[in-house]
A and B are shown apart, each in its own frame.
Chain A
Amino acid sequence: MAEQVTVDVAIVGGGIMGASAALFLRRLGYSVLLLEASLCGSKASGVNYGGVRRQGRQLVQLPLSQRAHALWQDIRRLAGIDGEYVRSGHLKLARTAADMDELEHYRQLSQDFDLDLRMLAGSDFRRRFPWLGNEVIGGSLCPDDGHANPRLVSPALAQAARAAGADIREQTRVLQAGHSDGAFHLVCAHGLRVRALRLLNCAGAWGHEIAWMFGRRVPESAMHPLMMVTEPLPLFMHVSLGMQGGGIYARQVDRGNCVIGGGRGYALDAQFARPGARDIDALLRETSRLIPVLKGAQVIRFWSGCEGEFEDGNPVLGPDDRVPGLFHAFGFCGAGFQLGPAVGEVLADLVHTGQARVPISAFDIRRFEAQPWQPEPIPTTARQRGQEQK
C-alpha cells in the first residue's frame, strides 16, 4: 500500500524535541510530517524522571535552558495541559565541604543567568529540610526550578502539534533516508514514501542511526537511567532533589508518590530497557541513607528507558554542515526534558531563518570530527537574548 507524501519539513522522532518542533513549525505555517517509530512520547521523553531544572547544567546549556524555562511557564498554552508542572525549587545537596565549595563555585559561574541560586547550610537548612539524612550538610536551592510529569507532557505536545495541523504518523519507522535534487527522500514502514525540503533528526537514543543514513558517524551511546516510585505518602518533599557529584534524585508528586532515580538499568533489546539488580540495591540503600523518613515505604515500580548520550554531556543540536537542510537534535544525555520546548523553537528558527535565537554552537555535530574544532564562546549577551523572546 504505497503512499507518497510531500511536505516542507519531515521530522524523525515524536519525543518532546520532535513534537515541540512540529508545533512551532506549524505556527510558522510550514507543512509538517512527523514520523514516530513507536508512539509519540513513549520513549525517554515519556518515561524520564521529570526534572524541569536549570541548576547544575553546563554553562553552555544555560541560554537554551533559560529560554526553555520561559516556555515552561506557559506550558498549558503550549501543550494544552499543565502536565503537573510545578516550580517547587530544585535543591542540590552537598555531603562535604568540598561539595559546598563546588556548589558555590557554580553559583558564581552561572550568575549571568538569573538562576537566583541560594546557598543553604546549618540550622536554617536543617529546619527547612528536617527529613534529610545527617550526612547531607547543605545545598544550593534554585527556587524556580521544578518538575513535571513527562508521561503526560510529551504525548500532549504531540497532540497539540496534531491539533495545529501536523501530520503525525505513529508506528512508522524510517527505513531509508537520502538527499538528492535539493530534497529529502524517505522510505518508511507501511510503504510510506516522503519527500521533504527539510529534515529534522529528533530520534533520541537512535539519532545516530538517522545520522548514519547520511554517512555521518557520531559517538552516541545509549544509557538507561534507573528510577523507582513509591506508593502515595503524606506530602513532605516540597522540593526536587539532586546531589552534587552524582547520586540519587527525588521528587514527590501531588498525589504523594515519591519518584526517585539514580544509577542505571540495562538494555533489554534495541527498544526497551529494564531496571538492573545491581543498581536497584544501591538506589534503595542511598534512598534510606539520604531520605531516612522513606524507610519502610513501599516501592511499587522500578523502570528504565533509553537515552542517548555523548561523552561531553552535551547533545547534538544544529545544522548538519554536509547535508543542507538537515538539522539534528538528539543525544540529550539524560537532561533533555526541560530543554524540549526550547529545542523545538530553535529547530523552527533554523528552518525559518537559519539562525537560532540562543547560542547552540557548543552542540555542533562537527565537534566529533578528527580535526580539533573549537566552539565559539558564549556571548555575554546570551542571557538577554534568551529572555527577550518571551
Chain B
Amino acid sequence: MNTPPLVAPGAVRPVIVGAGPAGLAAAQTLLAHGLRPVLIDEALKSGGQIYRRAPDGMQRSAKALYGFDHRRAQEAHQLGDRLADQLDYRPQTLVWNAEGQTLFLQSPDGLDSLSFSHLILATGATDRILPFPGWLLPGVFTLGGAQVALKYQGCAIGREVVLAGTGPLLYLVAWQYAKAGARVAAVLDTSRRFNQMRALPGLASNPGLLAKGLWYAAWLRAHGIALHAGVRLVKAQGESRVRSLLWEARAGDPLTLRETACDAVGFAYGLRSETQLAGLLGCTFQFDARARAWLPVRDAVGRTSRADVFVAGDGAGIEGADAAGIRGEQAALAVLADAGFAPNLRTIKRCANQRQHLARARRALDHAFPLPQEWAAQAEDSLVVCRCEEITVGKIRQAVREGGVREMNRIKALTRVGMGRCQGRMCGLAAAELVAFAAGADIREVGYLRSQPPVKPLTVGLVGSAPASNQEMETADG
C-alpha cells in the first residue's frame, strides 16, 4: 500500500517537536508510510500535558487520572510506547533554539544539534494567566500545574482546594481533585452561565464534549461541591501560605463578597499556545481574535509561512486533544506529499471533515468560557504581573502613560516585564491586555514579544557536541 517515494529517502529528515496527541499522530502517520522521523520531547514519557503519565510505580487508575478520556490516554501511551522503538525518539530533550534548518537541543547528555528537512512543531500549551491579588502566595497554582502535580507527582496541591478561573479544564481538574480525595471547597467560574447556555447550540455539534462537561459539573454538584459562575476573584489571603480566597459571587458587586477557606488555589483562564520555536524560525505571525494572541500563520494542513515548517495541535492555536491528533496527521500527510509520496485522498478528506466538525465545537467552547473583559481595567496598581522580575500593573501603566509607549517589546525594554526566567511565556498576554487598555488601543496594535533563545533556561557548563574553535572571540562591550 506504500507508494514508493519519488525522492531519495535520505533527503527527507522529518523532525517532530512534542510527543503529545499532535506529535504522536504525526509520527504514526509518517511511520505508516515508511519514513522514520525524529520525535523530540521534553518529558520523560510521551503523552504530552493532557495525557501526561504517572511515574513508574504509581498506583492510581487511568480512570481516576484522566476521567472520560482515560481510554484515549491509555491508547496514546500505548501508541507512544509502540512507536518509540521505531522512531528516533529523544525524550527529556528541550529544543532551546532554532536557526535555519537546525534545531539546538539540551538533554541530560548535554548539548546537541539536529538538522531537519521538514519540521512539525507540536509544542502544546500552558495555562493562560490573569493575575489577581495574592496569586504569588505559596499554595496558589495554575490549573495545569495542579493537574501535573496530580498526574505526574501523585500529590495534590492542598487538602482543601479552591479551583477558579474559567475554561473546560476547570471542571475536569475539580473532578480529578475530588476523585483523588482532596476536598474541593469551591469551583469558581468567572464566565457567566449565560455564556454557557448561549454556547449550547455550537457544543451540540460535538455531543461528547458537551456531555463530558455536563457530567463533570453534575458529578461535582451531586457530591456537594459548590459551583459558582459569573464570579470575580478578589484576593487570595494568608501570610506564609494561602488560607482563604475572597471572591464576589456576582462580579462587580461588592455586596456579594464571600470568603472561602482553603489551603490551595488552582486558577487559569484557558490555555495559551507555545509558539517560540515558530518565532525563532522566522514564521510569520498574525493576530488571532479568538485567542487574543499572535499565532503563526498556517494553512489548512498547518504549513506556516515557511514551506518546511508545520504547526499542529494546541501549539498552533487552542483546539483540544482530539483536534490536535487530526492536525498532527494532516501535517504529516502534507510532509509526505512534499516528500513525493502519493497522498491518500480519502484520508486527507476525512481529516478535513473531522477537523471542521471539531472547530465548530471549539468556537462554542470559547464563547462559553470568555476571558473576564474588565480585568485590565480593574487590576490594582500594586498587583505583580511579571513574577520573575516582580513588575507591577502600576509600572506598566506608568510606562504607557509617561513614556507614551504602546508596543510590547518597548514595554519590555522599559519595565523588564517578560525579561525573566519565563521570557514572557507566563506574563506576556496579561501585560498586553494592560498595555492595550492603558493606551486605549486595540490589543492587536500592541504587538507581541519577539522570541529570543533560549526557549527555556539553558545551563552554563554543559558540554557541547560542536568542535571547540580556538578563534578569539570578538569584543564589543559598549
Q: Using Cβ atoms and an 8 Å threshold, which residues of chain B touch A191? A: none
CB <8 Å contact, B473 and A296:
no
CB <8 Å contact, B464 and A284:
yes
Is A74 interfacial (CB 8 A cutoff)? no
11 A-B pairs besides A225-B476, A298-B458, A302-B454 with CB distance below 8 A are: A49-B478, A51-B477, A51-B478, A147-B478, A275-B453, A281-B111, A286-B473, A288-B460, A300-B454, A300-B457, A334-B475
CB <8 Å contact, A276 and B99:
yes
CB <8 Å contact, A295 and B461:
yes
A274 to B459, CA, bound (A): 20
Complex: chain B residue closest to A297, CB-CB: B460
User: Residue-by-residue, is B443-478 near A (CB-CB < 8 Å gives 1, otherwise 0)?
Assistant: 000000010111001111110101011011111111
16 cross-chain CB contacts under 8 A: A155-B414, A246-B472, A247-B473, A248-B473, A262-B475, A274-B452, A277-B97, A279-B473, A286-B473, A294-B461, A295-B461, A298-B458, A299-B460, A300-B421, A303-B452, A338-B478
**Min CB distance, A162 to chain B, in Å?**
10
From A243, A275, A281, contact of B475 by CB (8 A): A243
Complex: chain B residue closest to A307, CB-CB: B476
Complex: chain B residue closest to A263, CB-CB: B473
Complex: chain B residue closest to A159, CB-CB: B403
A297 to B462, CA, bound (A): 10
Is B437 interfacial (CB 8 A cutoff)? no
CB <8 Å contact, B478 and A50:
yes
Q: A277-B113, A296-B460 are in contact. Are A246 and B413 (CB under 8 A)?
A: no
State which residues 242-256 of A face B: CB under 8 Å: 242-243, 245-249
Q: Using Cβ atoms and an 8 Å threshold, which residues of chain A touch B475? A: 242-243, 246-247, 249, 261-262, 334
* B-binding residues in A (CB < 8 A): 39, 42, 46, 48-53, 147, 150-152, 155, 159, 223, 225, 230-231, 240, 242-243, 245-249, 261-264, 268, 272, 274-288, 294-303, 307, 333-338
**Min CB distance, A280 to chain B, in Å?**
7
The number of chain B residues touching the other chain, given as a range, is 35 or more
Complex: chain A residue closest to B389, CB-CB: A255
A128 to B450, CA, bound (A): 40
Complex: chain A residue closest to B104, CB-CB: A277
Is B183 interfacial (CB 8 A cutoff)? no
A225 to B478, CA, bound (A): 10
CB <8 Å contact, B478 and A284:
no
A262 to B475, CA, bound (A): 6
User: Residue-by-residue, is B405-440 near A (CB-CB < 8 Å gives 1, otherwise 0)?
Assistant: 001011001100001110100000000000000000
CB <8 Å contact, A302 and B477:
no
A335 to B466, CA, bound (A): 30
User: Residue-by-residue, is B336-358 near A (CB-CB < 8 Å gives 1, otherwise 0)?
Assistant: 00000000000000000000000
CB <8 Å contact, A39 and B410:
yes
**Min CB distance, B474 to chain A, in Å?**
6
Q: Using Cβ atoms and an 8 Å threshold, which residues of chain A touch B473? A: 246-248, 262-263, 279, 282-283, 286
Q: Using Cβ atoms and an 8 Å threshold, which residues of chain B touch A297? A: 459-461
CB <8 Å contact, B476 and A48:
yes
CB <8 Å contact, B460 and A294:
yes
A300 to B419, CA, bound (A): 8
Q: A42-B410, A278-B466 are in contact. Are A264 and B457 (CB under 8 A)?
A: no
From B414, B420, B474, contact of A300 by CB (8 A): B420
CB <8 Å contact, B413 and A151:
yes
Q: Using Cβ atoms and an 8 Å threshold, which residues of chain B touch A277? A: 97, 99, 102, 104, 113
A262 to B472, CA, bound (A): 9
**Min CB distance, B425 to chain A, in Å?**
11
Complex: chain A residue closest to B472, CB-CB: A246
Is B133 interfacial (CB 8 A cutoff)? no
Q: Using Cβ atoms and an 8 Å threshold, which residues of chain B touch A272? A: 450
State which residues 197-240 of B face A: CB under 8 Å: none
Complex: chain A residue closest to B97, CB-CB: A277
Is B370 interfacial (CB 8 A cutoff)? no
CB <8 Å contact, B111 and A46:
no
CB <8 Å contact, B477 and A296:
no
Q: Using Cβ atoms and an 8 Å threshold, which residues of chain B touch A302? A: 97, 452-454
CB <8 Å contact, A49 and B476:
yes
A230 to B414, CA, bound (A): 19
Is B282 interfacial (CB 8 A cutoff)? yes
Q: Using Cβ atoms and an 8 Å threshold, which residues of chain A touch B458? A: 284, 298-299
The 7 closest A-B pairs by CB, nearest first: A334-B476, A295-B461, A337-B478, A298-B457, A225-B476, A51-B477, A51-B478
State which residues 258-272 of B face A: CB under 8 Å: none
A245 to B111, CA, bound (A): 28
A272 to B280, CA, bound (A): 12
**Min CB distance, A103 to chain B, in Å?**
15
> A278, A279, A285: which has the most chain B beta carbons within 10 Å?
A285
CB <8 Å contact, B460 and A287:
yes
CB <8 Å contact, B476 and A335:
yes
**Min CB distance, B92 to chain A, in Å?**
17
Q: Using Cβ atoms and an 8 Å threshold, which residues of chain B touch A280? A: 97, 104, 453
CB <8 Å contact, A263 and B478:
no
A42 to B419, CA, bound (A): 15
Complex: chain A residue closest to B111, CB-CB: A281
From A39, A276, A296, A336, contact of B478 by CB (8 A): A336
Q: Using Cβ atoms and an 8 Å threshold, which residues of chain B touch A39? A: 407, 410
A281 to B468, CA, bound (A): 8
Complex: chain A residue closest to B466, CB-CB: A281
From B450, B453, B461, contact of A288 by CB (8 A): B461
CB <8 Å contact, B472 and A247:
yes
Q: A159-B403, A295-B460, A298-B458 are in contact. Are A263 and B474 (CB under 8 A)?
A: yes
A336 to B280, CA, bound (A): 29
Complex: chain B residue closest to A266, CB-CB: B99
CB <8 Å contact, A334 and B477:
yes
CB <8 Å contact, A249 and B477:
yes
A53 to B478, CA, bound (A): 8
A248 to B475, CA, bound (A): 7
A300 to B462, CA, bound (A): 15
A263 to B477, CA, bound (A): 11
Q: Using Cβ atoms and an 8 Å threshold, which residues of chain B touch A248? A: 473
Q: Using Cβ atoms and an 8 Å threshold, which residues of chain B touch A338? A: 478
A275 to B450, CA, bound (A): 13
A305 to B458, CA, bound (A): 21
Q: Using Cβ atoms and an 8 Å threshold, which residues of chain A touch B423? A: 300-301
Q: Using Cβ atoms and an 8 Å threshold, which residues of chain B touch A301? A: 419, 423, 452-454
CB <8 Å contact, A150 and B478:
yes
CB <8 Å contact, B477 and A275:
no
CB <8 Å contact, A42 and B454:
no
CB <8 Å contact, B457 and A231:
yes
CB <8 Å contact, B97 and A285:
no
State which residues 66-84 of B face A: CB under 8 Å: none
Q: Using Cβ atoms and an 8 Å threshold, which residues of chain A touch B460? A: 230, 284, 287-288, 294-299
CB <8 Å contact, A261 and B477:
yes
A245 to B460, CA, bound (A): 23
Q: Using Cβ atoms and an 8 Å threshold, which residues of chain B touch A48? A: 476-478
Q: Using Cβ atoms and an 8 Å threshold, which residues of chain A touch B102? A: 277
**Min CB distance, B402 to chain A, in Å?**
9
